[in-house]
Structures are given as C-alpha cells and as structure tokens.
Structure 1
Amino acid sequence: MIEEIGTVVQVNNQDVWVETVRRSACQGCRARSGCGQAVMGDLLDQSRQEQKNVLKMAHGSVGPLVVGDDVIVGIPEQALIRLACLAYGVPVLSVLVFGGVAQWFGWPDIGVVFASALGLVAAIVSVKKISLHLSCDFRYQPVLIAKRIASVKLG
C-alpha cells in the first residue's frame, strides 16, 4: 500500500474530503542540496513544487472524523502499477505497432510518421475511455487507512 498523509477538509454522513499536498520528487530527495536538477527545478518550476489535491472518498472504518484531522490515505501498489502501464505503455506500444505495420506494408517514411501519429491518437482516446471506466472501480480508488496520531515528545 502506498500511503500519503492528508488533512480532512469536509465531512458529511457518507463521504470525506481529504486534502493532500503533492510535492515534487526533488523535495523528498536526500541529494537535493548537491543536485543541479533540483536547482533548475526550483528556478524554472516554482509553482509546481507543491500543489494541493482534494480527494473525495468513502468514510470507511477509521472512526469519527472532524475537519482538521490528519489521516493516512493509501492506494494499492498493484493498482498504481496497472494504471502506470496503461498511461505510459499503451501509447508507446501503439505508436510502435502502427508505425511498424506501416513500414511492413512498404509505406514511405512520411506515411510511417503519420501512421505512428494515428496510433498515438488512437491510444490516447483508448486510455481516456478505459480510465473513465476504471474510475468507478473501487480497486483503483484511494482509501482511508487510519487517523494519524501526532507524536508526543516526553521529558
């Protein structure tokens, strides 16, 4: 289970809205101070370093929640891997197959390029339709795992 900490921003009888902060990969990296990529990212892409996401999910069995509670939100690794393969693998394979078939038929280079572009468009449309279908599948939805208990320092 891949986990993220969020804050409850709204609660009703069945649903909970949780706000999470999406950070760039550079912010969690230990080599950040000596990395040129992190410096360039800070300079060029400041607005995308932290973005807030609000997720609506079922109340679940984490107990009573109130606005301001910190909760742990999770999504199964299998779901994330499948969705990543869908989003990245299908377009690449489609471009290769469409372009390969066009080349196998002996089309000129410009025809192969157009066939590959057609494959990319077909893949994007297909991925969009499949993702709309999967958005209703509970196996691909984030779930509330637990309330986060603040650590207390003693002594």
Structure 2
Amino acid sequence: MIEETAVVTRCEGEHAWVEAQRKTACGQCQVNKGCGTAVLASVVGQKVSHMRVLNPIRARKGESVVIGLNESAMVNGSLAVYLVPLLSLFLFAITGKVLAEQLMINAVEGVSILFAVFGMVLAIAWLRAFNRRVANDSRYQPVILQRMPSAGLTVASSTPTLNPD
C-alpha cells in the first residue's frame, strides 16, 4: 500500500476530497543542494494535489488523515497511461512503414505517420474506455486508512528563570 498524509477539505457521502502536499525525494538525498531536481523544486515550489478518496472511517473536514493506494493499481494504471499509447504509436508506425513498402507507395514516411496517428487515436479511445471501467472500482481508488493523531499536545512552559545569586 502506498501511503501519504492529507487533510480532508470536503465530505460527500462515502467519499471525501483531500488535499495532499506533493513531495520530492530531495529531503532524503545527501546531495540535496547540488541536485538539479532540488533546484527545480525550489523554483517551481511545492504543489498541492486535490483528490477524491473513499472515506470508510467517516473522517470530517479539517482532519489530517493517512490515505493509501494499492501498489498493483498504481502499476496497472501507469502501464495503461504510459505504455499502451507508446506501444500503439510505435506498432502502428512500423505497420504503416511495412505496408507502404510492400505496396510500393512512394510516401513511406507519410503512411507511417498516418498509421502512427491512427494508433495514438485508438490508444486514447482505449484509455477512455479503461478509465470508465475502473472509475468506480474500489481497487483503483485511494482510500482514507486512518486519522492522524491530533497535533494539539500541551507543552509545559520552559522559560528560564534568572537566579540573582
């Protein structure tokens, strides 16, 4: 389970909207100051992600919570979004090139590009269908796992007193 902390901003029935601060790996790295990613993150700034999550524990607005997403859902979703369009683009481009060469068409590159665009359009159509299919599947939705402990701890005052001696 991939976990992240967030703050509930709105509740809607069995779902809640949460706000999570995007983090970079820069806080964990020893080369923090000399890294291009750290410099870019400091220029772009911290971003906030808003997302709808399942709310089985009935968290309320303003509460800090831990949200989680199944690793297999993350991998499957990433493969669908990145790999399917890329493979479709390349396979259709190669098919167009081979077909144009076999049919002895002079504009081999043009046919290859046309097939590549067609492959990308098909991949996008497939992605839309995939998205509709998994949109309400709880395996692909982040879920609130637990409430974070309250930060309202009382701390004893530790102001130093001067001793005149």
TM-score norm. by structure 1 comes to: 0.79
Which of structures 1 and 2 has the bigger CA Rg? 2
- The one-letter amino acid paired with 1:52 is V
Q: What is the percent sequence identity of the aligned residues?
A: 24
Partner of 1:51: 47
TM-score norm. by structure 2 comes to: 0.75
Partner of 1:110: 110
Does the Cα contact within 8 Å between 2:8 and 2:18 map onto a contact in 1?
yes
- The one-letter amino acid paired with 1:59 is N
Describe the superposition over 1:98-122 as per-residue Cα deviations: whole angstroms up to 9, x where unpaired: 1121122115122112211221222
Does the Cα contact within 8 Å between 2:22 and 2:48 map onto a contact in 1?
yes
Q: Say if 1:7 and 1:137 are closer, same or farther in 2 by CA, change over 3 A.
A: same
Say which SS state the counterpart of residue 67 (structure 1) adopts. Answer: coil
- The one-letter amino acid paired with 2:79 is C
Give structure 1 stretches of 5+ with no counterpart. Answer: none
Shift of 1:5: 0.2
CA distance in 2: counterparts of 1:13 and 1:113, whole angstroms: 48
Say which SS state the counterpart of residue 68 (structure 1) adopts. Answer: coil
Shift of 1:29: 4.9
Q: Say if 1:27 and 1:125 are closer, same or farther in 2 by CA, change over 3 A.
A: farther
- The one-letter amino acid paired with 1:4 is E
Pick from 62, 68, 71 the counterpart of residue 62 of structure 2. 68
Does the Cα contact within 8 Å between 1:26 and 1:32 map onto a contact in 2?
no
- The one-letter amino acid paired with 1:66 is R
Does the Cα contact within 8 Å between 1:73 and 1:145 map onto a contact in 2?
yes
- RMSD (Å), alpha carbons: 2.6
Partner of 1:95: 89
Partner of 1:120: 120
Moved more, 88-97 or 121-130: 121-130
Give the aligned length: 148
Say which SS state the counterpart of residue 91 (structure 2) adopts. Answer: helix
Partner of 2:129: 129
Pick from 82, 95, 103 the counterpart of residue 76 of structure 2. 82
Moved more, 104-113 or 6-15: 6-15
Describe the superposition over 1:65-114 as per-residue Cα deviations: whole angstroms up to 9, x where unpaired: 33322110000000000000000110111012111211221151221122
Partner of 1:2: 2
Q: Say if 1:37 and 1:70 are closer, same or farther in 2 by CA, change over 3 A.
A: closer
